[in-house]
Chain A
Amino acid sequence: MSAPAVFFYLFGAAAVVSALAMVLNVRNTVAAAMSLVVTMISLAVVYVTLEAHLVAALQILVYAGAIVVVFLFVVMLLNLRRDTFAPSRQLLTKGAGVVLALGVAGAFLQLVPQALPTVQEIPPDFGSYAAVGRTLYRDFVLPFEVTSFLLLAAIVGAVVLAKRRLD
């Protein structure tokens, strides 16, 4: 097994474990947020092993940096105490959730290997800044522009919902 492959599986596993740690940790909100950071960084490493360097850099900047910081701010401002979220009461719901999750995972583990097409050769400049730029601004110019409107909608929405003035 080559070095990138080792890193791929190692950090892939780390991403899954830390994601689980975030979801299952309902007592300590700050710890959950930190688990999220670990997930994001692990994913960034996975991108690096897949030679998507730009995406990896953006992953660190945007998710591990900006978004988690905002989360932590919210946690601090709302001053959530440890006992704010009571653990789910219904054992049945929990059990059903676990069974569903395992069932879906099992089904996919069984289906994916037999069904996915063979991997195609990636072009030499894949993941480079130039290639990403070309893709974004030429091939995907429409989605790119629409995304800006999507963000505008989200901002306007956030302002509307958060505006102090209620008339």
Chain B
Amino acid sequence: MNAPQLDMAAIAPLAFAAFGALFVLLGEVWLTRRRTNEHFINAALSVLSISFLGLSVYCAGAAFSDGTTRVFDPANPMLSLDRFAAYSIALIGIASLLICFASISYLPQVGINHGEYYALLLLSTAGMFLLVGATDLMALFLGLELMSIPLYVMAGFDRRNLRSNESAFKYFLVGSFASAILLYGIALVYGVTGSLGFDAIRAGFPPGNPIGIVGLGLLVVGFAFKVASAPFHQWAPDVYEGAPTSVTAYMAITVKVAAFAALLRLLTQAFGPVTASLSDLFWVLAALTIVVGNVMAVIQTNLKRLLAYSSIAHAGYLLIGFATGTVEGYGAVLFYLLVYVFTNLGAFAVLMALAQGGRDCDTLDDLAGLARQRPGLAALLTLFALSLAGIPGTAGFVAKFFVFESAVASGQTVLAIIGVLGSVVSFYYYLRLPVQMYMSEAATETPRRHAATGELLVLAVCAVVVLFLGFFPSHAPGVLGAVRALEWARSSVAMLY
């Protein structure tokens, strides 16, 4: 009996994140023994997490530029580190890393600076890394659970806050339910194909078999829940609102990237031939999600709820790419995710920089008069809101344009029009942020704190990326000529076929 030939490089990003969690847990114990300054411990653990995530991102970047596909166990392929996985891992890793940076000052401000935060974040990130690289339904499910379980806890991290508890519990209940549905789908697919590996499913999936179709449907529903697509979106506003802002940012951003990327791989690699039949389903989901997300966002007064509905609407635009079912459409989805990460992260980072004295900045009224007190933050939040709305000159416009254009190119013109209509409506609620900041006076002039270095770094990175991608989505001049974001997204998708 031969020992299996394992390629450890394939799990390097996953391993760095997972072992980073162990180091963080041990480090907290070690530091607590020696130091009593909680802020120092918090910062040290954050830096530790950032370094491990940095290693993961570095591995992913190397794998991406390398371009080869590494499979962990070729005899029994479950996880591979290919261009697509590397792109997604880099995206998720950078987002997590930036959130760690912003958390350094945010956690003490709201009084939740416990070391477990970073451990859970790293474990969840490891789950996402597994999810986007999984080429086997078992690995996929484990990745999903490893991503979700820490998230349930993180949502309830602010234990003194009842809303945070409510958020965690709701997320846990609904999330478990969705996991069960997904698991049922996996079981049914296994039932008809006798296999869990993507390649084997692709080879053995019997077309027209009702059990197989039900299984595929349940899988799609499971992912629709994770990305908060209507009609499986209702949990999102409650959960996003209750969770601490940094956790909300993490949930809204990285989970969406991981789930969409995994769904993309699942649809192309495991269900390639039958994916075309899902086009109508995605059409309906996309249209419904765009309408529900945008219309509901209009009446929100809580910023986190507003951003939650906005993220639902964005899930709708992303689903347009799935409705096209073309390489261009999927490429547009990956590019959109890139833009989505930095735009949303920027918006959330502003909110995190405004949290102070144990209180989150989470209502529209909290923004009143911000332009006078913190003009820089107000200008940045305006920029991110405009990008979310899709004003030309920002990355948001380019991303939307590619998605809508791919829909038009594949003949889904009506869906593109629905998308345009949705983004027209979205201007109304995104503009309420600048209105509040620039054209309202604060009721009480409480002095606002200065943004910390970590937050400023995140804001600067996000602002630069949003503007840069707005003007140079596919080519960049001069020394930045190597940045070809759209090409990266497209080539990542192309290798899945």
Given A152-B21, A156-B116, verify A120-B138 contact (CB < 8 Å): no
Contact string against A for B residues 125-149, beta-carbon threshold 8 Å, 1 for contact and 0 otherwise: 0100010000000110011011001
A156 and B123 contact, CB distance less than 8 A: yes
- Interface pair B160/A166, CB less than 8 Å apart: yes
Q: A115-B211, A156-B153 are in contact. Are A150 and B116 (CB under 8 A)?
A: no
A136 to chain B, nearest CB (A): 12
With beta carbons under 8 angstroms apart, the residue of A134, A149, A161 that contacts B153 is: A161
Q: Is A161 touching B159 in the complex (CB atoms < 8 A)?
A: yes
Query: Does the CB pair B18–A156 fall under 8 Å?
Result: no
- Within the complex, what minimum Cβ distance (angstroms) separates B216 from chain A? 13
The verdict on A149 contacting B25 (CB below 8 Å), with A156-B120, A160-B157 known, is: no
Count, A-B residue pairs, CB within 8 A: 92
Chain A binder among B71-79, B360-368, B445-453, B461-469: B71-79
Which listed residue, B11, B114, B142, B160, touches A143 by the CB 8 Å rule?
B142
Chain A residue numbers with a CB within 8 Å of B116 are 156, 159-160
- A147 CB-CB contact with B under 8 Å: yes
Chain B residues positioned under 8 Å from A159 (CB to CB)? 116
Q: Contacts A150-B146, A150-B149, A161-B156: A156 and B78 contacting too (C-beta < 8 A)?
A: no
A12 to B37, CA, bound (A): 59
Chain A residues with Cβ under 8 A from B111's Cβ?
A: 167
Q: Is the CB of B145 within 8 A of A157?
A: no
B376 at the interface (CB under 8 A from A): no
When each residue 91-103 of chain A gets 1 if its CB lies under 8 Å from chain B and 0 otherwise, what string results?
0000000000000
What is the distance, in angstroms, from A153's C-beta to the closest C-beta of chain B? 4
Instruction: Give residues of chain A (68-127) contacting chain B, Cβ–Cβ below 8 Å.
Output: 111-112, 114-117, 120
CA distance A58 to B200 in the complex (A): 30
Asked if A149 meets B18 with Cβ closer than 8 Å, knowing A156-B25, A156-B116, A160-B157, the reply is yes
**Interface bits A48-81 vs B (CB < 8 Å: 1, else 0):** 0000000000000000000000000000000000
Whether B84 is near chain A, meaning CB under 8 Å from some CB there, is no
Closest to A110 in B: B210
Decide if the interface of chain B is mainly helix, strand, loop or mixed: helix
* Known contacts A143-B139, A157-B150; A111 and B211 CB within 8 A of each other: yes
Task: Say yes or no: is A1 at the interface (Cβ < 8 Å to chain B).
Answer: no
A residues near B207, Cβ cutoff 8 Å: none
Q: Is A141 an interface residue (CB 8 A)?
A: yes
Q: Are A142 and B72 in contact (CB under 8 A)?
A: yes
Inter-chain contacts of A166 with B (CB < 8 A): 159-160
Query: Taking A116-B191, A149-B18, A153-B120 as contacts, is the C-beta distance between A111 and B78 under 8 angstroms?
Result: no
Residues in A with CB closer than 8 Å to B124 are 153
Do B139 and A149 touch across chains, with their CB atoms under 8 A apart? no
A3 is an interface residue with CB less than 8 A from chain B: no
Q: Give the CA-CA distance A117 to B205 in the complex, in Å.
A: 11
Contact code string B151-167 (vs A, CB < 8 Å = 1, else 0): 01100110110000000
- Chain A 138-155, CB-CB to B under 8 Å as 1, else 0, gives 111111001101101110
Q: Are A111 and B149 in contact (CB under 8 A)?
A: no
Query: Closest Cβ of chain B: how far from A64's Cβ, in Å?
Result: 22
By the criterion CB–CB under 8 Å, are A157 and B152 in contact? yes
A sample of 13 more A-B contacts (CB under 8 A), given A147-B142, A153-B146, is A117-B192, A140-B76, A142-B139, A143-B78, A143-B138, A146-B143, A146-B146, A150-B145, A150-B146, A153-B123, A156-B120, A161-B159, A167-B114
Return 5 A-B CB contacts under 8 Å, by A number.
A114-B210, A139-B4, A139-B75, A146-B143, A160-B116
**5 shortest interchain CB distances as A-B pairs:** A157-B153, A115-B211, A153-B123, A146-B142, A153-B150
Residues of B within 8 A of A (CB): 1, 3-4, 6, 11, 18, 21-22, 25, 72-73, 75-76, 78-79, 111, 114, 116, 119-120, 123-124, 126, 130, 138-139, 142-143, 145-146, 149-150, 152-153, 156-157, 159-160, 168, 191-192, 194, 206, 209-212, 214
